C-alpha cells in the first residue's frame, strides 16, 4: 500500500473514530436527560397524588404522604442527579443556541416532566375522575414498584428503569456533579404537593371531548369544594351561559362566582361585578358594580387581564355616575360591600367565608373611590 493511500486510510479511520465517540457522547446525554425527565415526572405524579388523594387515604395503610416519603427516601440520589442533569441541559442550550432557540429548548426541557407525569396519570386513572379505589391503586404502584401486569407497565419508560438508573449513576460520578442545596433536598421541595389537579382536570377534558356533562360538573364541583377558585369560576360560567346542556341559572352562577372570589380568584369578583352592572340575577346596582370592579383591580393588579378589564369598567361607570353617587360609594365600608355581595347568595354562605382583600375602612381610602378629602357621615 502506497504512502498516500496509507495516510488517507488512517485519516478516514481517525474521522470515523471521532464521529463514533461524538455519537456515543450524544447518546449518553440523551439517555441521562430522558432518565432525569422520567424521575422528575414520577416525583411530580406523586406530588399530585399527595394532593388529589389525601382526603381519601389519609391515615390508612395507603396514605399518599407515607408512600411519597418512602419513595423519596429511596430515590433521593436520582432526584439530585436529575436536577443537575436538567440544569446542565439548560446551560448547554444557552451556550450553543441563539437566544430565541435556547428559550424554546429550555421550555421544552422544563415541560418534559409535566408531559411525562400526564402519561403516568393516564395509565393510573385512564382519564377518569379519581376515586378512593383508583387513588389507592395509584399510590400502591409507587409503594411496590411497577409490575408488567400493573397500569405502569403500560408506560414505555418503565421498561428502561435499569438503563436510566445506570445513566444517572454515571452522571453522579462525573467531576462536575453538584447536589442541590440542602433546602432544595426536602420531600416538599422534590415531591411537592401541587395545586394543579392534573388527574381531575385531564378527566374533565376527556369528559368534555365525549360530551359527558355529568362528569364535567362533578369534576369541577369536587375541585371547587376543595377550594379551587378556577374550578368554581368555570362552574359559574357553565350556569351563567347554559353550557353543557344546562339551563341558564343566574343564582347558581352567582353562588359559584362568589365561591371563586372567596378562594382568592379575582375573576370571580369581576364576574360578580358584571352581574351587578347588567342586572343578571340581581337588581342592577352601579354602585355595587363600581366597588366590585375597583376591588378586582386591586386584587388582580395592573397587568392581569381581570385587573385591566375591571379598571376599564370602573372608569366607565364613574363617567356615568353623578359625583355625589361616587362619593357615596367611597364612603361605604368594606363590610357593607361584603354584605351586599353575600346578601343574594343562595343558600347564604357561612359568615366565616375567607373572602380576601376585605379589610376594615372606607372604600375611598382602600380602593381610591371618590375624592379622598370628602367628609363621610
CB atoms inside a 10 Å sphere around CB 342: 16
* CA separation, residue 60 to residues 50, 67, 278 (Å): 13, 11, 50
Give the pLDDT confidence score for residue 355 in this predicted structure. Answer: 66
Q: Long-range contacts for 349-354 (Cβ within 8 Å, ≥24 apart)? A: 349/258, 349/259, 349/262, 353/262, 354/262, 354/263
pLDDT band, very low/low/confident/very high, at 362 (cuts 50, 70, 90): confident
**367 with 291: CB under 8 angstroms?**
yes
CA distances for 42 relative to 55, 92, 152, 187, 263, angstroms: 21, 24, 11, 13, 29
pLDDT digits (tens, 9 = 90+) for 263-276: 999 999 999 999 99
Place of cell 369528559: 207
Angle at the Cα of 150 (from 148 to 152), degrees rounded to 5?
A: 85
The Cα–Cα gap between 80 and 74 comes to 12
For residue 149, the model assigns a pLDDT of 64
Residue 24's pLDDT is what? 45
CA distances from 254 to 96, 344, 356 (A): 53, 8, 17
CA 294 to chain centre: 27
In this prediction, residue 145 carries a pLDDT of: 67
DSSP letter at 333?
B
Whether pLDDT at 15 is above 90: no
Cα distances from 3 to residues 6, 7, 8, 9, 10, in angstroms, run 5, 6, 9, 10, 11
- What is the band of 358 on the pLDDT scale with cuts at 50, 70, 90? low
pLDDT in tens, 137-157: 999 999 876 656 678 888 989
Q: Residues 112, 90: contact at Cβ < 8 Å?
A: no
Q: In this predicted structure, what is the pLDDT of residue 147?
A: 59
H helix intervals, 302-362: 305-320, 323-330, 334-342
pLDDT at position 37: 96
Amino acid at each position: 500500500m502506497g504512502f498516500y493511500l496509507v495516510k488517507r486510510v488512517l485519516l478516514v479511520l481517525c474521522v470515523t473514530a471521532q464521529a463514533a465517540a461524538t455519537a456515543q457522547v450524544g447518546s449518553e446525554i440523551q439517555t441521562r436527560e430522558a432518565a432525569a425527565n422520567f424521575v422528575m415526572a414520577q416525583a411530580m405524579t406523586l406530588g399530585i397524588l399527595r394532593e388529589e388523594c389525601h382526603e381519601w387515604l389519609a391515615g390508612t395503610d395507603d396514605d399518599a404522604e407515607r408512600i411519597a416519603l418512602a419513595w423519596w427516601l429511596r430515590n433521593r440520589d436520582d432526584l439530585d442527579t436529575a436536577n443537575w442533569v436538567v440544569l446542565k441541559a439548560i446551560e448547554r442550550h444557552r451556550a450553543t443556541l441563539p437566544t430565541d432557540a435556547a428559550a424554546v429548548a429550555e421550555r421544552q426541557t422544563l415541560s418534559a416532566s409535566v408531559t411525562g407525569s400526564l402519561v403516568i396519570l393516564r395509565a393510573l386513572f385512564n382519564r377518569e375522575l379519581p376515586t378512593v379505589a383508583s387513588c389507592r391503586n395509584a399510590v400502591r404502584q409507587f409503594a411496590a414498584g411497577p409490575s408488567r401486569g400493573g397500569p405502569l407497565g403500560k408506560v414505555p419508560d418503565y421498561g428502561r428503569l435499569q438503563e436510566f438508573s445506570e445513566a444517572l449513576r454515571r452522571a453522579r460520578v462525573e467531576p462536575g456533579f453538584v447536589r442541590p442545596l440542602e433546602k432544595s433536598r426536602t420531600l416538599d421541595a422534590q415531591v411537592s404537593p401541587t395545586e394543579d389537579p392534573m388527574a381531575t382536570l385531564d378527566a374533565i377534558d376527556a369528559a368534555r371531548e365525549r360530551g359527558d356533562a355529568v362528569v364535567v360538573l362533578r369534576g369541577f364541583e369536587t375541585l371547587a369544594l376543595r377550594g379551587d377558585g378556577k374550578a368554581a369560576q368555570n362552574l359559574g360560567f357553565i350556569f351563567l351561559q347554559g353550557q353543557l346542556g344546562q339551563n341558564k341559572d343566574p343564582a347558581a352562577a352567582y353562588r359559584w362566582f362568589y365561591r371563586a372570589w372567596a378562594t382568592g380568584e379575582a375573576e370571580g369578583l369581576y364576574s360578580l361585578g358584571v352581574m351587578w352592572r347588567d342586572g343578571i340575577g340581581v337588581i342592577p346596582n352601579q354602585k355595587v358594580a363600581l366597588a366590585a370592579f375597583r376591588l378586582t383591580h386591586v386584587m388582580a393588579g395592573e397587568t392581569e387581564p381581570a385587573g385591566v378589564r375591571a379598571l376599564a369598567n370602573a372608569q366607565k361607570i364613574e363617567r356615568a355616575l353623578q359625583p355625589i353617587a361616587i362619593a357615596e360609594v367611597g364612603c361605604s365600608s368594606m363590610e357593607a360591600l361584603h354584605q351586599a355581595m353575600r346578601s343574594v347568595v343562595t343558600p347564604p354562605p357561612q359568615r366565616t367565608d375567607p373572602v380576601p382583600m376585605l379589610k376594615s375602612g372606607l372604600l375611598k381610602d382602600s380602593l381610591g373611590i371618590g375624592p379622598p378629602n370628602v367628609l363621610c357621615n
